[in-house]
Amino acid sequence: MKILVTGANGYLGLGVVKQLLDDGIEVVAADFKTDRVDGRAQKMDCDLFSIEDPYTYFGKPDVVIHMAWRDGFVHNADSHINDLPKHHDFLLKLFKSEVKNVAVMGSMHEIGFWEGSIDEKSPCNPMSLYGISKNALRHDVEYMAKTYGKSYQWLRGYYIVGNTSYGSSIFSKLYKAASEEGKMEFPFTMGLNQFDFINYEDFCLQVAATIEQNEVNGIINICTGRPEKLADRVERFIKENGFTIKLNYGAFPERPYDSKAVWGNSQKIERILSTLKE
């Protein structure tokens, strides 16, 4: 199997490429730059959106996982809306090609304000340009898959916990502040919201396992299926890494579009992962 990974040099792409390679998959890694990508992959530095025939250009992959996305942590950047036609054109070319399966990285921010478990039937009312754009692309992908008779996988990612300063999540910022900047205090909200936190390595494993199979398709939550209070997870993260930094509770207000308690329904990903144990 040959899998094309777009956005391969990004925070998430790096780990997914490594996991696929560890699984014995032939990987074509594409991004503007691929200098940090695992050397076992076939690296291709390029502008995805300028390629006329991506299926042929990337060596006729069996599967594509489209992870490329600008400004993912800047939720109200205009680029989310402005880039939508480019994502559509790129994916349309692949749906029209002989590629067997198209997977696209989604986000729980498609849902908007919601309390409780999220599954593929949960209504979406996104409250940021990022969420609006991801949700629009999801509808587009569903339409193209039906139109061209392809299977698709929409990988709805949840809150990723990683031990690295690369990235813009609260965990990346905290890691940088504690390990690289030597700060003793970290500004924080009250941390009362409950989210579905998934470790970076588990996230990459779930993504790889999903796109390596074609029995479970459609919207798939990349998650643990369990909610945890933000303050508890961050305090545990500090302890796990042996940091001495303290949280300054209440320094920031809660974001108005963050749910009080939200988590992914894990039934579909558990079905996929169960095949790894057989």
φ and ψ at residue 92, rounded to 5 degrees: -60, -40
Tokens matching residue 45: 């530095």
HEC-encoded secondary structure of the chain? CEEEEECCCCHHHHHHHHHHHHCCCEEEEEECCCCCCCCCCEEEECCHHHCCCHHHHCCCCCEEEECCCCCCCCCCCCHHHHCHHHHHHHHHHHHCCCCCEEEEEEEHHHCECCCEEECCCCCCECCCHHHHHHHHHHHHHHHHHHHCCCEEEEEEECEEECCCCCCCCHHHHHHHHHHCCCCCEEECCCCCCEECEEEHHHHHHHHHHHHCCCCCCEEEEECCCCCEEHHHHHHHHHHHCCCCCEEECCCCCCCCCCCCEEEECCHHHHHHHHCCCC
Q: Which whole-number Å values give the CA distances from 18 to 99, 189, 201, 217, 219, in the listed order? A: 22, 34, 10, 23, 23
- 152 in active site: no
Spatial separation of the C-alpha atoms in residues 154 and 6, rounded to whole Å:
15
Exactly one of 11, 55, 57, 130 is catalytic; name it.
130
Query: Given the structure tokens 């309390």, which residue do they identify?
Result: 115
Spatial separation of the C-alpha atoms in residues 20 and 17, rounded to whole Å:
5
| Residue positions annotated with a catalytic role | 130
